[in-house]
């Protein structure tokens, strides 16, 4: 789950616009996570007041090994920092450390209709994949996602195709809640953000590279060793083109197009330059070159994340300070909501 929230500044003296994004630590971060989203985040700290969280509350809608969830949560935080998210310029926190997310999520459960939740596409998809654990959290997690958003009073919510329903649900809840209690929440508007490279599975270029892929043979992880990255790209699917030419054609050559997208994102070259570089060389030269580009892109991230993970005290300081700042902002909205619904003040 990734959410990104923006609030536009109206004057030069106004506070920075707010951006908030979260990714579930239900799997290890992938090359797709980095090139598609995280790589662009570090550029935003000068323009936005950025909040990035580990969405561990969302992760438990599917059964998690507790030790793995704790490990992945801290690894994700270390990787965020290693990817360039300076804790002095960005607020980094663990979702479960800011209890206002869960508290507002419960209130919003009471303002979302059963029919709305039952129509959520992701609930249907995840129910099929987890038929032995179709729990209440899986059904109502869009209300928690709405709480993630509305706590920070955004004007715009940049969303991908798979998140549009969640924004519409949040808008329905805002309309319903404000209709009863007055202007409590701002009405979030969908916003199309600048996105990075769309990275597909190396073994199945028709599917997005996913950290939930248990086999992981077509998935490159940020912490993969160089030899593992080289092996995965060596086995990457290309096509049956006899000429074995490197040409960007997503329709007829999706595997090659995927490798070109990755290479372009790692080297900064455009597709025309990539085609020219490998003209007449074939896939035997192309795939190792892509692997080498990825290895060198991820090497500093892997090494820095490994260094940070050894400093437990530093990580603890980062997530504690992040939770304190996020909690101050979130508590303002929650106090207003609690007062409106009639709860006795703490």
Angstrom CA distances, 35 to 270, 311, 326, stand at 15, 26, 26
DSSP 183: S
Query: Beta partners for 52?
Result: 21, 92
Q: Return the structure tokens found at 307.
A: 């260094």
Q: Which of 24, 211, 232, 287 is catalytic?
A: 211
Q: Which of 24, 39, 126, 253 is catalytic?
A: 126
**For this structure, is 24 an active site residue?**
no
**For this structure, is 287 an active site residue?**
no
Closest residue by Cα to residue 154 from 163, 167, 135, 141:
167
Q: Which of 42, 89, 186, 208 is catalytic?
A: 208
User: How many whole angstroms separate alpha carbon 105 and alpha carbon 144?
Assistant: 4
Compute how many other C-beta atoms are within 10 angstroms of the C-beta atom of residue 300: 12
Torsion sign, CA atoms 54, 1, 206, 122: positive
User: How many whole angstroms separate alpha carbon 99 and alpha carbon 95?
Assistant: 8
DSSP 335: H
Q: Where are the beta strands (DSSP E) in the chain?
A: 17-23, 48-54, 90-94, 156-158, 189-191
Phi, psi (rounded to 5 degrees) for 113: -90, 150
CA 102 to chain centroid, in Å, comes to 19
**For this structure, is 225 an active site residue?**
no
| Exposure b/e, 144-167, CB count within 10 A at least 16 = b | bbbbbbbbbbbebbbbeeebebbb
Closest residue by Cα to residue 52 from 104, 9, 1:
1
| CB-neighbour burial class of residue 240 (10 A; exposed 0-12, middle 13-18, buried 19+) | exposed
> Which residue bears the tokens 């507002």?
104
Residues designated catalytic? 126, 208, 211
């Amino acid at each position: 789950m990734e959410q990104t929230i923006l609030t536009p500044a109206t004057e030069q003296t106004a506070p920075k616009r707010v951006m908030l994004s979260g990714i579930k630590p239900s799997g290890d971060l992938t090359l797709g996570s980095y090139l598609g989203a995280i790589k662009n985040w570090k550029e935003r700290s000068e323009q936005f007041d950025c909040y990035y969280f580990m969405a561990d509350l969302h992760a438990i809608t599917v059964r998690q090994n507790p030790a793995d969830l704790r490990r992945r949560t801290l690894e994700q935080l270390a990787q965020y920092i290693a990817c360039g998210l300076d804790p002095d310029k960005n607020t980094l926190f663990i979702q479960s450390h800011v209890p206002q997310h869960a508290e507002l999520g419960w209130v919003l459960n009471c303002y979302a209709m059963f029919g709305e939740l039952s129509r959520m596409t992701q609930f249907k998809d995840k129910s099929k994949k987890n038929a032995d654990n179709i729990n209440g959290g899986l059904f109502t997690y869009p209300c928690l996602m709405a709480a993630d958003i509305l706590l920070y009073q955004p004007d715009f919510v940049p969303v991908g195709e798979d998140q549009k329903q969640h924004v519409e649900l949040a808008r329905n809840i805002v309309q319903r809640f404000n209709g009863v209690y007055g202007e409590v929440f701002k009405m979030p508007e969908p916003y199309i953000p600048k996105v990075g490279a769309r990275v597909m599975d190396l073994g199945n270029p028709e599917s997005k590279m996913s950290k939930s892929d248990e086999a992981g043979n077509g998935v490159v992880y940020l912490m993969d060793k160089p030899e593992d990255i080289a092996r995965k790209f060596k086995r990457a699917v290309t096509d049956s083109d006899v000429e074995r030419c490197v040409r960007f054609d997503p329709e007829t050559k999706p595997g090659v197009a995927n490798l070109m997208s990755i290479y372009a994102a790692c080297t900064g070259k455009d597709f025309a330059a990539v085609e020219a570089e490998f003209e007449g060389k074939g896939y035997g030269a192309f795939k190792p070159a892509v692997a080498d580009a990825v290895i060198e892109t991820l090497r500093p991230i892997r090494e820095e994340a490994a260094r940070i993970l050894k400093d437990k005290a530093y990580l603890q300081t980062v997530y504690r300070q992040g939770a304190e700042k996020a909690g101050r902002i979130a508590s303002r909205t929650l106090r207003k909501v609690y007062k409106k619904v009639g709860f006795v003040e703490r």
